[in-house]
Amino acid sequence: MRFFQFIRHIFKDESGYAAIPYIIAAVGVGVSAYGQYQSGQAQEKAYKFNAAIAEQDAAAERKKADYEEGQARLRLRQLIGTQRTLYAKAGVDLSSGSPLMVLADTAARGEEDLQMIKYGGDVAVAQQRNQASLARFYGKQTSQAGTIGAFGSAASGLSSAYVGYAGRN
């Protein structure tokens, strides 16, 4: 209500029309400030979306690594089974000596491979989760920057408009 009283006071005589440029400037400042605020909000939404995608990618990386580890484990069991079968066909005793050492070495190397697959999956998951965290951080920062920029623009623009208006009176 006070706003309309202020407007009526300004336009009570013809000299009030000189205030029109300052009023337009004040409205422009408001629109600009709102635009900065909305821009920050939109950027935050985009970063949140990117974070969600990175989280989905992390889940996909985990599934992929688990699948690859399972496949490698299956191949290892098949290799050890093939070695046992070939030794047995040749009439070699598997309970001691070189054949036992070969089977143990195959199992140990296979386990190393499985651990490397798991490690690679863990690294890929961590990278995607870090991307998600970074996107969320950037989203918060752009939202805050938009809000602060909006207030700064509003304060600066309204101050300039007031100084211009007050200076003509």
> If pLDDT is split at 50, 70 and 90, which confidence band does 95 have?
confident
CA 33-34-40 angle, 5° bins: 95
pLDDT at 18: 65
More confident residue, 160 or 136: 136
Report yes or no on whether pTM surpasses 0.85.
Answer: no
> If pLDDT is split at 50, 70 and 90, which confidence band does 120 have?
very high
Report yes or no on 93 lying in a domain.
yes
pLDDT at 111: 96
pLDDT at 167: 64
Per the structure, how many domains does the chain have?
1
Comparing 10-14, 41-45, 153-157, the range with the smallest average pLDDT is: 10-14
CA distance 21 to 160: 12
Report yes or no on 8 lying in a domain.
no
> If pLDDT is split at 50, 70 and 90, which confidence band does 165 have?
low
Look up the domain containing 158 and give its range. 18-168
| 15-73 per-position pLDDT tens digit | 556 667 777 777 788 888 888 888 888 999 999 999 999 999 999 999 999 999 999 99
Report yes or no on 120 lying in a domain.
yes
Q: Long-range contact list for 96-104, CB < 8 A, 24+ apart?
A: none
pLDDT at 61: 95
Average pLDDT of the chain, as a whole number: 86
Report yes or no on 129 lying in a domain.
yes
pLDDT at 97: 87
Report yes or no on 37 lying in a domain.
yes
Q: How far is CA 85 from CA 6, 10, 74, 81, in A?
A: 98, 102, 16, 6
Report yes or no on 76 lying in a domain.
yes
The answer on pLDDT for 169 being more than 60 is: no
